[in-house]
Every structure is written in C-alpha cells, then in structure tokens.
Amino acid sequence: MSLVHRDKSFSLWSKLLLPAVIVQLIGWYLGLFWIGADKDQGDVFRIMFVHVPVAWCAFLWILCAAVFAILGFMKKSLFEKMDHSAHAAIDLGTVFAALALATGSIWGRPTWGVWWDWDPRLTTTLVMFLICCAYHVLRSFTPDVQARRNAGQIVAILAAVNVPVVYFSVNIWRSLHQPQTFVRKGSSASSDIATILLVNTVAMVILSVVLFKLRRTVVATEEALDAAREGKQQI
C-alpha cells in the first residue's frame, strides 16, 4: 500500500472516530445514570460497564494478533501485511489489558478491601499483559527487521494461548473474582443490566475497530519510512 493510499485510509477511519466515541459515551451514560444501583454492591458495580468491555476487547485483539501472525507464517506473500496487522492488534491488546487490570483494581478496592490480590484471574491477566509488553520489548531491541517480525509473531501467538487460561481461571481455580455471571446457567443478573452491558461491549468493540484501523495505518507508514531511511543510509 502506497503512502497516498495509507493517507486516504487514515483520513477515512479518522472520520469514523468521533461517531464511535459518541456511541461509547451513550453506553457509559446508560450505565452510569440510567440504570439503578445494584442491590448488593450499590453504585460500585457501575464500573462493570467499563471493566468487562475492555477485558473482552483485550481478549479480542490478542486473539486477532495471533490469527494475523499465523496467517503471515502460512502465506509469505502476506507476511508483511499481517505483521502490520498483528502489531496494531497487540498494541490495542496491551492497552485494553492494562485498562482491565486498572479498572479491576478500582472495582476490587471497595469490593475486596484491597487494590490487588494474587487471585488466579488477576494473576493470569497480568501474565497476559506482560507477554504483550514482551512483544514490544522484542520489537524495540531486535535490529534485524525479519528477526524482529518473526519474534513478534511468535510472542503474539504465545499471548493468545494465555487468553483461554484467563477466561476459564475462575472455573479452574478457587477465586475471589466473581464467576462468569452472564454465561452460566441460573444467572441472577437482570435483563436491563445484561442489555446495557451488551451495548457497552458492542460500542467498545466498534471503537476498538476504528482505533485498530488507524493504528495499523500508522504502523505501516512508520515501517515504510524506516525502510526508506535505511535505504538512503546504505546508498
């Protein structure tokens, strides 16, 4: 993709950023002001409408990064393009994993009485976040382009392997973390809470897709500029 096409792509997706943010703000408004307080947790539970969507987006983009990495390894003609996509996806996965940890700690403080506990769900999420950080370290400190891409793709796949561990951790080990409220049978969650949570999750996914498209264009442009600079230096 040429720089001109990348500029057009960036311009197109940047126009969609504001509508995506507005949709997300509507979802947050419903969660913060429209719905009533929880009978057990009071108003504290409202952070769920941020915490759960960012956690799901972390899972989504880390899994997407692994899919892009595998496709790149399977078809060499797409390797560079898939590397750009995996890089952008891991960037988002890292940010959303950090937000999941932060909002989880904020939720945990009034609920558990501590900011952090080495709970299986929290610990496995932290491991997932650190693997994403390792991806960025390898990308930053590996000078050879091909080696950097290969290492990054492998780490992206490793990060995705940890996603099901995080998801099922509350079922595998005894945990302070509440169980999977909306997927287990006999859930006590009300329909209005489930609906608003779904609205916020969809809104967050839509926003993250726009951010992914923008970030992928930036990654591709940065690598093209770096390659051009290296070519001039060699000449």
β-sheet bridge partners, residue 38: 42
Q: What is the pLDDT of residues 10-54, one digit of tens each?
A: 777 788 889 999 999 999 999 888 887 766 677 778 888 999 999
pTM summary value: 0.86
The span from the CA of 200 to the CA of 28, in Å, is: 7
Q: What is the pLDDT of residues 188-211, one digit of tens each?
A: 556 788 889 999 999 999 999 999
Q: Helices (H), strands (E): how many in the chain?
A: 6, 0
Place of tokens 């169980």: 179
